[in-house]
Structure 1
């Protein structure tokens, strides 16, 4: 990885992580936990998926910002984003439509694929396989 691409991967990783944290906290503090659960249930999804989504968004966001297991985390949060594509698919493709469209979560899914390909980049905590095995 060239120095410039390492910094580009870092910026993409941190920006994406910050957005995940913002979306997770939005579900907790604005929509509230009961409200988020009720929304998931109104979509025909089990309520517990709301909690898993929030954990994935906040935990995944922190891991991305720190550069911990970046490739695995970016792949793990992709189903959350594809679920958002499904939820917003009936609203049209522009996210400014009422209820939001599907282009933003689809683009963000592509960003996660790009992060998975690039890896952590610069300024990442990268636990070695040995360190994980010793723990």
Structure 2
């Protein structure tokens, strides 16, 4: 049975944590690898380099939307393709465990499960623009 008194705060915690993860990964691409370096990495995978810039922007916008609660249910679903792309190109071939060389896909699968759970649960409290229920 779901505790209706605390479940909304679980949704808030999940929403903010997922948003911070996206901002952290965007920050890694911006400040550590640099956008040009990330574009070069995407190109080395056979992807168009410009897709790196789209990915960074999508991670930033998705992360902000999740943290602030701006259509968070929609944002949660909208950022899943980024993770699926990472699984398909880098982490899937590395195997399941994230400790494998090049990182496996277990962390990304958990991240996707959290995003789906948030989309099902709802925005939680303190959402600036709650999604329709």
Q: 1:31: Cα distance to partner?
A: 0.5
| Greater helix content | 1
- Determine the structure 2 residue equivalent to 1:65: 67
- Determine the structure 2 residue equivalent to 1:112: 115
| Structure-1 separation of matches of 2:99 and 2:58 | 25
Which 5+ residue runs of structure 2 have no aligned equivalent?
none
Alignment of 1:7-46 (within 5 A): 7-46=9-48
- The reply to whether residue 99 of structure 1 matches residue 111 of structure 2 is no
- After superposition, give the CA deviation of every residue in 1:73-102 in whole Å (9 maximum; x if it has no partner): 011100001111112111111111111101
- Determine the structure 2 residue equivalent to 1:77: 79
Contact persistence 1:41–1:47 (CA under 8 A) = yes
- After superposition, give the CA deviation of every residue in 1:43-102 in whole Å (9 maximum; x if it has no partner): 111111101111111111011000001111011100001111112111111111111101
| Structure-2 separation of matches of 1:12 and 1:52 | 25
Contact persistence 1:85–1:103 (CA under 8 A) = no
Q: Secondary structure at the match of 1:83?
A: helix
| Structure-2 separation of matches of 1:128 and 1:99 | 36
Q: CA-atom RMSD, angstroms?
A: 1.5
Aligned CA distance change for structure 1 residues 33 and 10 (closer, same or farther; 3 Å):
same
| Structure-1 separation of matches of 2:117 and 2:130 | 21
